[in-house]
Amino acid sequence: MPNILVCGAINWDTTLFVDRFPDPGEEVRVSRVISLPGGKAANTAVAAVKILGKNTVGVIGMLGLDDIADTQIKILQNEGIDTSLIFRHDGILSGQAYVIVDSRGENEILTHQGANLAIRPELVERPEALSAIDKSSTIIVIDPPLDVAGSLIIYARRTGKSIIWSPSLLTNYGLSALNRYMSHVDYLILNQQEVKSLTGIDDGVKACTKMSNSVRGRKVVVTLGDKGCVLCTDGKSNMIPPMDLASSDLKTVSTVGAGDTFVGAFAAFKLKGFEDAKALYLSNIAAALKTAREETRASPTYEEIKRYVNNDNSIGSL
């Protein structure tokens, strides 16, 4: 059975590349269109399996009974992902996302969740799902419906699993709705916009510190884009530096999927036994390398990450 289980969205991404984002009512020229697999849970799972190796990661999710679903499952299986807990729903289309990427690599995303929203707690409480959780080491809950996220978190805590929660869009429910589950996770991972929506604080480091004060004993990670990330525990913060792409003759092409790469890489490196700061630094490298590539799931392999780490005398070799 997989060592890591990831629960959340599986989408098909249509990505439009533009010079700049349009103003309201304005039309801009699309220079190129690509169509690729995406979805936060699937992206995260692929990022982890590229570090840990095939058959170490599984996905819990929902797809429709359509061609997109068939293609998604084949692609995930080819990556070495366990798909036995991907359920199918008759009558609801598989999730799709429409992504706009500008010349700086920044993105805007419009998502039709589709079948992703049809997964229910009773599905993840089936014997086969509970058995997979029991045999796993780490549960990543990234963006399923809140009741599903809660059910998984509570069961995983009861069975002593390491739990990483990246609530993503669920932050729109507000802090009070998420609070009842936060105290059960080991790591809460948020980006700057998400932590701002929960705390009302613009500064990512200050917002991280505040969040960690509200979930005593748990670790809060806030990703800061090209500034790296910050780890906060009980009100104390630790800055983790980013990878400088330019120093490796690389540049940002698309940030789509970088956050998912970060989460998957972090879970994988923790499972490999790295302490928090080093696992986060390596995850920063993985996410940065992903931004230098167009594809949503273009996360680096363990060998690629090692190559860049071994060129950095400040962190030591792998």
Number of folded domains in the chain? Answer: 1
In terms of residues, how long is the chain?
318
152 domain residue, yes or no: yes
CATH number, domain containing residue 103: 3.40.1190.20
Q: What are phi and psi of 232, to 5 degrees?
A: -125, 135
pTM for this predicted structure: 0.93
208 domain residue, yes or no: yes
Structure tokens at 72: 């998604």
The predicted structure's pLDDT at residue 91 = 87
293 domain residue, yes or no: yes
Task: Quote the domain boundaries for residue 37.
Answer: 4-19+33-309
129 domain residue, yes or no: yes
278 domain residue, yes or no: yes
28 domain residue, yes or no: no
The pLDDT profile of the chain, 318 residues, written as one tens digit per residue, is 689 999 999 999 999 999 999 999 999 999 999 999 999 999 999 999 999 999 999 999 999 999 999 999 999 999 999 999 999 999 899 999 998 999 988 889 899 999 999 999 999 999 999 999 999 999 999 989 999 999 999 999 999 999 999 999 999 999 999 999 999 999 999 999 999 999 999 999 999 999 999 888 899 999 999 899 999 999 899 999 999 898 889 999 989 899 999 999 999 999 999 999 999 999 999 999 999 998 889 999 999 999 988 655 445 556
54 domain residue, yes or no: yes
